[in-house]
A = this chain, B = another copy of it.
Amino acid sequence: MNLKELSRHLGLSQSTVSRALNGYRDVSADTRERVLEAARRFGYSPNVNAHRLATGQSGAIGIVFPSGNDPLLDPLFTDFLSGLTNSAARRQMDVLVSASFDSAEASYRRLAQRRSVDAVVLSGPLVADPRVSLLDKLDIPYVVHGRTRAPHPYAFLDIDNEGAFRQAAELLIGLGHRRIGLVNGDLRQSFAVDREAGWRSALLAAGLVAPDALNDSDVMTDEAGYRLTAGMLSSETPPTAVICSSIFSAMGACRAIRDRGLAIGSDISVIAHDDGISSIRPETHNPPLTTTFSSIHKAGERIAEMVADLLGGKAASASQEVWPVDLIFRDSTRPPARA
């Protein structure tokens, strides 16, 4: 069933039926009624490809995968994507996932040239991210999940990474810790830089030093978490507490602590950032982990809305959000052993 058939059934022109379907106001109330009723009865739904060709809009949000087997391609992405997709669907938008099998740049160019998407979401932004200027040049609207350096206002949704890690460090300082390690993510990524800044500022504000030996970063895997933490624990001034940038690195950190015969909480305090994925929950651990928490799923949902608003004409400068992060106190943070 297509428009032509539907309008024939109704004895109306395609124009009128189209307008009724698309909610234009210059259609009489009962015509609209009849049309909608018939569309429902016949199970009519418009051919998206025709719609797109006619309007020049694709009705899709694009997102480009980090290349190949990049470990930055982490499991959190599933939750983000699920939020994005759900929320996009409510606004009749699709989500198009594009591979960067050659290069991310080529992928964006393809998306732009072929007009496959109306807008793009940029995840995992680097501190200085070449994709931003590319998207500017390609003139394709975008929303950044996180923040980056840009020469002009741009739409973004970020969490308060700096504030979260400052608070986490402050909590530990309040408990009496003096040597607080940071097991951070890859420092090319903005959030990692912000978290380091938060950690550092709390330490400095308390009159402590922020030594390089207690500040390390790598991909946020269990393995790297183990390695970085083990390194700190065997240094000359081992930490009495560590703050981890992800639940995966925290798993590794906990292993490293236990492998050294130490107990989490009573010997070494641990705080992890928790994005709220369901496969690993910090509250079910032993001891339950203190976390900085922000749902990455919700971020995905919100970003689809922001994309829709942007396409609806909202200014990028008015589409900027920084979400506060919850600090959830559990049993993995205690006063240091010999405080």
Q: Interface on A for B, CB 8 Å cutoff?
A: 43, 45-50, 52-53, 58, 60, 65, 68-69, 71, 73-79, 81-82, 85-90, 94-99, 101, 107, 110, 113-116, 219-223, 226, 248, 251, 255, 258-259, 277-281, 284-286, 297
Contacts and interface: CB of A to CB of B under 8 A. Distances in A.
A79 to B, nearest CB: 8
A76 B75 contact: yes
A90 B85 contact: no
A15 B263 CA distance: 74
Contacts of A286: 255, 259
A286 B259 CA distance: 8
A274 B26 CA distance: 59
A89 B101 contact: yes
A219 B220 CA distance: 24
Contacts of A46: 114
Contact of A251 (B58, B77, B113, B280): B280
B73 A99 contact: no
Contact of A221 (B94, B96, B280): B280
Contacts of A222: 279-281, 284-285
Given A86-B65, A98-B85, A49 B52 contact: yes
A286 B58 CA distance: 50
Contact of A114 (B45, B99, B113, B258): B45
22 contacts: A45-B114, A47-B114, A48-B116, A49-B53, A49-B58, A65-B81, A65-B82, A65-B85, A73-B78, A74-B278, A75-B75, A75-B279, A78-B81, A81-B81, A86-B101, A87-B99, A89-B107, A97-B97, A221-B278, A222-B280, A223-B280, A251-B280
Contacts of A255: 285-286
Top 8 A-B pairs ranked by shortest CB distance?
A75-B75, A89-B99, A49-B52, A223-B284, A85-B99, A45-B113, A86-B99, A49-B53
A107 B86 CA distance: 11
B94 A95 contact: no
A67 to B, nearest CB: 9
A96 B95 contact: yes
A256 to B, nearest CB: 9
Given A49-B49, A78-B75, A278-B69, A113 B43 contact: yes
Given A73-B79, A86-B101, 17 more contacts: A48-B115, A49-B53, A49-B115, A52-B52, A53-B53, A65-B81, A65-B82, A71-B278, A81-B81, A82-B99, A89-B107, A221-B280, A223-B281, A251-B280, A255-B285, A258-B258, A259-B286
Nearest to A50: B53
A117 to B, nearest CB: 9
The CB with the most chain B CB atoms within 10 A, among A101, A280, A285, is that of A280
